[in-house]
Structure 1
Amino acid sequence: MEEVSLSQRIAAKAIAESRKSPGRVNRAVFLEIRDEVQSAIEDGWSVLAIYSALRHEGVVSFGYQAFRRYVKALIVERQEERSKTKPS
C-alpha cells in the first residue's frame, strides 16, 4: 500500500470541498500533478505544451495564466529557494 503524503491528503480534501472555493481546488489539482509537471519541464517541454496536454486530457480545467502562476510559485520559485539554502 502506497503512503499518501499530507500534501496529497490536503489536496484531496480541497477537491472534495470544491463548491466552496474554485481557486483552492485549482491549486489542489496542480499540487496533485506537480511532480509530473516538474518532470516534463526537466525533460525539455514548454509550459504551454504541458498545459495543452493536461487540458486536452481533462486533468486541468483552469486557464493557462493560472497554470503559469502555479508553475512559477510552486516549482520555479521553490527550486530557487532550495538552491539558495544549499551550502556552496
Structure 2
Amino acid sequence: MPNVKSAKKRVRQTAKRRLRNKSYKTRVKNSVKKVLAAIEAKEEKEVVNELLSSAFSVIDKAAKKGVIHRNNADRKKSKLTKRVKEYLGEEA
C-alpha cells in the first residue's frame, strides 16, 4: 500500500476509472455480440441495421471517453460493417 497521500489518491482514482472502463468495454462487447447474433439468427435487414447503428454509437462513445483507442474503434466498426454487408449480400 502507498504511504504518500498523493499515491493513495492515485490508487482511489485508478480503481474508480478501472470500473468505469470495464463497464464501457463490456457494453462494446455486448453490442458487437448482438449484431453477430442477429446475423447468425438470420434476422431482418432493418433489425441488423438498427443493431449495427447502436453498436457504432456505443463504440464511438467508448473511443471518445478514451476507454479504447480511436484506431481500435475504427477497426471494430470496419469488421462489423464488413460482416453485415456480407450477410446482406451487398458489395463490400
Q: If the length of structure 1 is used for normalisation, what is the TM-score?
A: 0.31
Greater helix content = 2
* Greater length-normalized contact order (CA 8 Å, ≥ 6 residues apart): 2
Q: If the length of structure 2 is used for normalisation, what is the TM-score?
A: 0.30
Larger Rg: 2
